[in-house]
Structure 1
Amino acid sequence: MSASANDWSGHTIAIVGTVGVPGRYGGFETLAENLVRKHGEMAGPGSLVVYCSARSYPERNPSFLGARLRYVNLPANGALSVLYDVVCIFSAIFRRHAVILLFGVSGAIALPFVRLFSRVQVVTNVDGIEWKREKWGFLARSLLRFSEFLAVRFSSEIVADNLGIAEHIQHTYGRSCRYIAYGGDHALLSEPQAYCRRALPLHYSLAVCRVEPENNVGMILEAFSLLPGSPLVFVGNWKGSAYGKSLYAEYARFEHIYMLDPVYDPPELRGLRDSAHSYIHGHSAGGTNPSLVEMMHFGIPVLAFDCSFNRYTTDDKAIYFSDEESLRNAIAALAGSNSAQLGRDMLELARARYTWDVVAHAYFELAQSVRSGAVL
Structure 2
Amino acid sequence: MIDVVVVGGGAMGSAAAWQLARRGKDVLLLERFAPGHHQGASHGASRIFRLVYAEPDYIALARRALTLWSELESATGTDLLDLTGGVDHGDPALVEPIAAAMDAAGVPGQWLARDEAAERWPGLRFDGPAFFHPSTGRVHADHAVTALQAAAASQGAVVKHETPVRHIVVRGNDHAEVVTDDGVVHARRVVVAVGAWTSKLLPFPVSLTVTQEQPAHFTPLSEDVRWPSFIHHGHEVYGMLTPGEGVKVGLHGTGIPVDPDSRDFAAEPSRAAQLADYVRSWVPGVDPATAAPISCTYTTTPTSDFIVDRTGPLVVAAGFSGHGFKFTPAIGELVADLAGGASGPHRFSFAARDVHP
Same fold by TM-score greater than 0.5? no
Higher helix share: 1
Higher strand share: 2
Q: 1 or 2 for the larger relative contact order (CA 8 Å, sep ≥6)?
A: 2
> When the two structures are superposed, what TM-score results if normalisation uses the length of structure 2?
0.26
